[in-house]
Structure 1
Amino acid sequence: MNQPDMHAGNAGSTGNARKRPRLAVWKFASCDGCQLSLLDCEDEFLALADAIEIANFPEASSAIGEGPYDLSLVEGSITTGHDAERILAVRQQSKFLVTIGACATAGGVQALRNFADIREFVAAVYASPQYIKTLATSTPISAHVPVDYELRGCPIDKTQLIEVISAFLAGRKPAIASHSVCVECKQRGTVCVMVQGTPCLGPVTHAGCGAICPAFRRGCYGCYGPMETPNVAALAREWQVLGATPQIVRHALRTFNVAAPAFLKESEAHDD
């Protein structure tokens, strides 16, 4: 990720007033959950509000300021031709662009369309499918424009989001851990569910959730996508030792982060 200087700006009329960095939040194909995580920051976000200008955030305010923007947060995947054009305009107006959530970083659960004929889905859902214009695939933002940082999760963790925004304001790299959910299990003293015979995606999933599911004796769902250098093939073999069929392994990897390369490759290895 680039090391930004978010404090750079023109002095105001008094000669010593600093221009606040301008923040924009954009939505593409998604459920709005990651934007709601930002709104859920409440007190933490209020502390940042004095340091930034929220210029464009339709989820929070109808007041829309025109670009350019110092930092853009982008939620959602690209699923229509119109959005493929719109993200180019967003990138052009943004000094730094950060994608937030599984949809923006890996295509989201809607990327399941990538394995089927989208025309069949449209015909099954809409009474007049001839009026629906959509792409055959759902793809992450990085497939269309350069991205400065990716924050994973479905939805994202609000503490991590505040850290990313703070890092850009300070001109430094975000301090987001790259380890797996397994480390979080150890930190909270949770006994490994795989040792107890429950298949779990924790060993290959990026940390950030606090290992909630294993704490309730449930295997990790992989909401935060693959960690750095995950050995998904080795984990799949362990799942099969525990009795998981190829179909179970494939379905487990084809959820929120189905189009993430590491999960996609291993899921295809278990196709019929």
Structure 2
Amino acid sequence: MKIGVFKFASCDGCQLAFFDISDRLLTLPVEIEYFLEAQSENSFDQIDVAFVEGSISTPEEEERIKEIREKSEKVVTIGACADSGGIQSIRNFMNFNEVLSSVYPSPEYIKSLEKSKPVSDYIDVDLEIRGCPINKEHLYEVIVSLLMRKTPSLPEYPLCLECKRKGNPCVLILGKPCMGSIIKAGCGAICPSFNTGCYGCFGPVDNPNIDSLQDIFREKGFGDIFERILTSFNAYNKVYREKYEEKS
């Protein structure tokens, strides 16, 4: 199986998962054709699977992701930036020109799209691996499943179930902001395991009850940070986006 790993607007964190499983990749019939962060010689013609990190934030990136789609049998997005716009999509809810001029001293030289959007806004995506960053075991599961031509087994249930399995007390009841009931599992409930709230790195489950959780946040006295959490790691996820469009 020939694969390529491509980066767009992101921090590179999700690509590092490939290094974390590199010893196991060596035992699989996988050829890495393109991976700028990992090798000096790269080629990109036709590949079986393109793993894409990062959101689409510039006109050049828009054209490039379409080219990758044309040359790839399957496209798999990795991480919150590629799946949901990432931290950089916070700007989507602000005045673009004001943001641009506040960051760059000469904004007239910057070629940027007004909004930072998920890859799926521009092309068809075959599979998403959630997280900020992704779980290396999820990446390995996807690669093996693609080799075996089967559907990968990735968590589709809320993070709350991971806390239950680990015997964690509910940090929301203990007075910490926690998005666990509407967020996909996959991180191993790292933050609640250390008595810290969950800020939703893995994005929403299907049909999340956002209104109910927001009411609980208000009752607990930290309702003012609820929207800030939604517009963070997965700010332009389609579920969150619909919520804001409905509000406006």
Mapping 1:77-92, distance limit 5 Å: 77-92=55-70
The residue matched to 1:204 in structure 2 has which SS? coil
Q: 1:95 — aligned with what?
A: 73
1:42 aligns to 2:22 (yes or no): yes
Aligned counterparts of 1:56 and 1:232: Cα–Cα separation in 2: 40
Q: 2:13 — aligned with what?
A: 33
Mapping 1:92-171, distance limit 5 Å: 92-171=70-149
Work out which of the residue numbers 228, 231, 237 in structure 2 matches 1:251.
228
The residue matched to 1:89 in structure 2 has which SS? helix
User: Is the contact between residue 253 and residue 267 of structure 1 (CA under 8 Å) also seen in structure 2?
Assistant: no
Q: 1:260 — aligned with what?
A: 237
Q: 1:7 — aligned with what?
A: none
Q: 1:57 — aligned with what?
A: 35
The residue matched to 1:97 in structure 2 has which SS? strand
Work out which of the residue numbers 42, 53, 56 in structure 2 matches 1:75.
53
Q: Which has the larger radius of gyration?
A: 1
Residue 67 of structure 1 and its aligned partner are, at CA, apart by 1.5
Percent same amino acid at aligned positions? 44
The residue matched to 2:205 in structure 1 has which SS? coil
Deviations 1:59-100 (A, max 9, x none): 100111232000110000100001101111000000011001
User: Is the contact between residue 250 and residue 267 of structure 1 (CA under 8 Å) also seen in structure 2?
Assistant: no
The one-letter code sitting in structure 2 at the alignment partner of 1:151 is I
The residue matched to 1:23 in structure 2 has which SS? strand
Deviations 1:170-193 (A, max 9, x none): 101011120011011011111111
The one-letter code sitting in structure 1 at the alignment partner of 2:62 is A
Aligned counterparts of 1:125 and 1:252: Cα–Cα separation in 2: 22
User: Is the contact between residue 233 and residue 266 of structure 1 (CA under 8 Å) also seen in structure 2?
Assistant: no
Deviations 1:2-55 (A, max 9, x none): xxxxxxxxxxxxxxxxxxx1110111110000001221223223323xx11111
The residue matched to 1:34 in structure 2 has which SS? coil
Change (3 A) 1:265 1:145: closer
User: Is the contact between residue 80 and residue 135 of structure 1 (CA under 8 Å) also seen in structure 2?
Assistant: yes
Aligned counterparts of 1:212 and 1:47: Cα–Cα separation in 2: 30
The one-letter code sitting in structure 1 at the alignment partner of 2:176 is T
* TM-score (ref. length: structure 1): 0.87
Residue 235 of structure 1 and its aligned partner are, at CA, apart by 0.8
The CA RMSD over aligned residues, in Å, is 1.5
Residue 268 of structure 1 and its aligned partner are, at CA, apart by 6.5
Aligned counterparts of 1:59 and 1:36: Cα–Cα separation in 2: 9
Mapping 1:182-261, distance limit 5 Å: 182-245=160-223, 247-261=224-238
Q: How many residues in Structure 1 have an aligned counterpart in Structure 2? A: 248
* TM-score (ref. length: structure 2): 0.95
Aligned counterparts of 1:120 and 1:266: Cα–Cα separation in 2: 24
User: Is the contact between residue 98 and residue 148 of structure 1 (CA under 8 Å) also seen in structure 2?
Assistant: yes
Aligned counterparts of 2:30 and 2:247: Cα–Cα separation in 1: 47
Residue 137 of structure 1 and its aligned partner are, at CA, apart by 0.2
Aligned counterparts of 1:205 and 1:90: Cα–Cα separation in 2: 30
Aligned counterparts of 1:66 and 1:37: Cα–Cα separation in 2: 21
Unaligned runs of 5+ in 1: 1-20
Aligned counterparts of 1:113 and 1:182: Cα–Cα separation in 2: 30
Aligned counterparts of 1:232 and 1:125: Cα–Cα separation in 2: 32
1:22 aligns to 2:2 (yes or no): yes
